[in-house]
Structure 1
Amino acid sequence: MKPRAVVFAYHNVGVRCLQVLLARGVDVALVVTHEDSASENIWFGSVASVAAEHDIDVVTPADPKAPELFDAVNRIAPDFIFSFYYRHMLPVDLLALAKRGAYNMHGSLLPKYRGRVPTNWAVLHGETETGATLHEMAAKPDAGAILAQTPVPILPDDTAAEVFEKTTVAAEQTLWRVLPALIAGEAPHLPNDLAAGSYFGGRKPEDGRIDWSRPAQQVYNLIRAVAPPYPGAFTDIGGERFIVAQARLVPESGTRAIPAEFVRTVSNLPAGLTVADNALFGVCGDRRVIAIRELRHRAADGSADPAGGERVVSPAEFGRITQTSRHS
């Protein structure tokens, strides 16, 4: 007899892990997901669409503590409850309805980076590795026993979006590998030593503000951690907002395209965004330089750019906009 599950899921990890359950023969009786927000950049796959393709009932409650949801899950009497990038903590009484356990897929190598947006935090802190962990759900977030993990590298120039793509594959591989043992009642439940790990909360768009007085590696990590499709690292000049969408940390020894002598000249300019030799650079507090490969403009008050929304600007346009802003 197929094991029966209720699945709470969203985003690409939700899509891929739901597909793994179906491919492994799990009877998914109900999918609980989120309504897409009109204010959010929806750049990821739809769990609801995957469920619809497989004739699975879908609900989108605003609150997972709703009595109606509890009653619906109770009627299903699931063997398992799974959470794959669902954005709310599930109440303990709901988890207890799963006769054979409730499990969550988290985007880090627990116990490191418990909590919200773990991929972005890992890139921000300059980590060289992260991954995906399937763990038992408990009253505290990401605190239950660990069943399986899959690591992925974070390369020096990876953005959070690029790392998230790797983490999505790692989540799929983790679930695929451990699911047969979990169904057979033979999956390991390893200690999750919270004292050896870390917890981080959510991030807001304002957290992307660049402090050019910081060392260049820290600034570059911030740029990578929130690069599009996330809101982006930004700096305000006058009444104008500039978002650093793509950049590269320039070696102190320079490169073929940016010779060391030129780097030394630029590094002596004031900290912040600057134009040199018709190219955009960011000068940081330790006098190291970041080459800006794509700069976007939006008015600092959030109103649209006169040319129509957020748009890429050239070094010359940047100079004209900031000159006008400073003299207006």
Structure 2
Amino acid sequence: MTDLTPRKRAVVFGYHNVGVRCLKVLLAGGVDVALVVTHEDNASENIWFESVISLCQSEGIPYITPADAKSPELLEQVKAVQPDLMFSFYYRNMLPAELLAVAPAFNMHGSLLPEFRGRAPVNWAVLHGATETGATLHEMTVKPDAGAIVSQMEVPILPDDTAHEVFGKVQVAAEQALWRVLPSLLGGTAVRRHNDLSKGGYFSGRKPEDGRIDWSQPAQQVYNLHRAVAPPYPGAFTDVGGVRYVIERARFRDHLSNDFCRSLPLGLTVVDNCIFGVCGDGRALTISALTADGVPVTAQQLQARLAA
């Protein structure tokens, strides 16, 4: 028997890897994606992620890239589609109340709400030493990341995971969280769970300058900073003698204790042809890849520079 139930029509606001993967989930789930709202790539940004525009082009999905999510033109374009549902998958702009009133709207957030609400949730989770995070699909409200939760999927953060590695896990978690709830969401039977805003907290976006290392901090905190902003993000850095050194790869091990570091100055140093970052608690990071003003530097080169 042929299923004559009309497909649900959706407008998707999306960008980044999560935008690509979740858009594919909607298509696989039989959703009629009538319009995608996305961003043009910024030429000054390190684009290491997949393209929503490329997916739209390959699938024949209409897409637009408005500069302002609050523009009357965008509101009229979305209304003209007459969507049954709207989704936001890592779209970078907040949607105004007038737009959210067009149809029920759901956002995919890269944390286990209510934890790490706001911007750059994966980076903040790693920076704070969290051992678990995930993805949450929730109802959209004017207040960011405040709506009822409809689906969550958790992933572990291992002790040496960088934010980029964790983001790869969160991307899969987002796909799973959406796939799991999509049938009930389309059928209007999805269960809502309270998003307790008395827990967790809001976090702002991060800037490259936030990667500056304070060597007086304990080694675990410095290591968490490195992990949170390691490439393809701008990296944790320190300035010595007018040169900016960026840590590309490092590890932290407890056996590099006070006995080893007692006579060493805080910051970058070289011992036995190995680069270390000595921290305020008398422990150190072992640095296996370091750049100086964007150029890789060896232990011998660093030692010569520090002795000059």
Matches within 5 A, 1:54-203: 54-98=59-103, 101-203=104-206
Preserved contact between residue 84 and residue 104 of structure 1 (Cα < 8 Å): yes
Deviations 1:251-274 (Å, cap 9, x if unpaired)?
23x5xxxxx7xx723343011000
Preserved contact between residue 223 and residue 233 of structure 1 (Cα < 8 Å): yes
Give the number of aligned pairs. 303
The alpha-carbon deviation at position 297 of structure 1 amounts to 1.3
* Residues in 2 aligned to 1:56 and 1:319: alpha-carbon distance in whole angstroms: 56
The unaligned stretches of length 5 or more in structure 2 are 1-5
Provide the secondary structure at the position in 2 that maps to 1:151: strand
Provide the secondary structure at the position in 2 that maps to 1:194: coil
Deviations 1:236-261 (Å, cap 9, x if unpaired)?
00110000111000223x5xxxxx7x
Paired residue type of 2:148: A
Identical aligned pairs, as a percentage? 63
Preserved contact between residue 95 and residue 102 of structure 1 (Cα < 8 Å): yes
Residue 4 in structure 1 maps to residue 9 in structure 2? yes
- TM-score w.r.t. length of structure 2: 0.96
* Residues in 1 aligned to 2:169 and 2:51: alpha-carbon distance in whole angstroms: 18
Preserved contact between residue 81 and residue 102 of structure 1 (Cα < 8 Å): yes
Match of residue 22 from structure 2: 17
Deviates more, 1:187-196 or 1:115-124: 187-196
Could you list the structure 1 runs, at least 4 aligned residues long, displaced by more than 4 angstroms after superposition.
Answer: none
Deviations 1:17-57 (Å, cap 9, x if unpaired)?
00000000100011111111111100000001001111111
Paired residue type of 1:320: A
Match of residue 302 from structure 1: none
Match of residue 312 from structure 1: 296
Match of residue 244 from structure 2: 241
Preserved contact between residue 266 and residue 276 of structure 1 (Cα < 8 Å): no
Residue 288 in structure 1 maps to residue 283 in structure 2? yes
Provide the secondary structure at the position in 1 that maps to 2:176: helix
Preserved contact between residue 160 and residue 225 of structure 1 (Cα < 8 Å): yes
- TM-score w.r.t. length of structure 1: 0.91
Cα RMSD over matched residues? 1.1
The unaligned stretches of length 5 or more in structure 1 are 255-259, 299-309
Residue 33 in structure 1 maps to residue 38 in structure 2? yes
Provide the secondary structure at the position in 1 that maps to 2:198: helix
Deviations 1:115-138 (Å, cap 9, x if unpaired)?
000000000000000000000000
* Residues in 1 aligned to 2:18 and 2:119: alpha-carbon distance in whole angstroms: 14
Residue 278 in structure 1 maps to residue 267 in structure 2? no
* Residues in 1 aligned to 2:274 and 2:124: alpha-carbon distance in whole angstroms: 30
* Residues in 2 aligned to 1:73 and 1:22: alpha-carbon distance in whole angstroms: 19
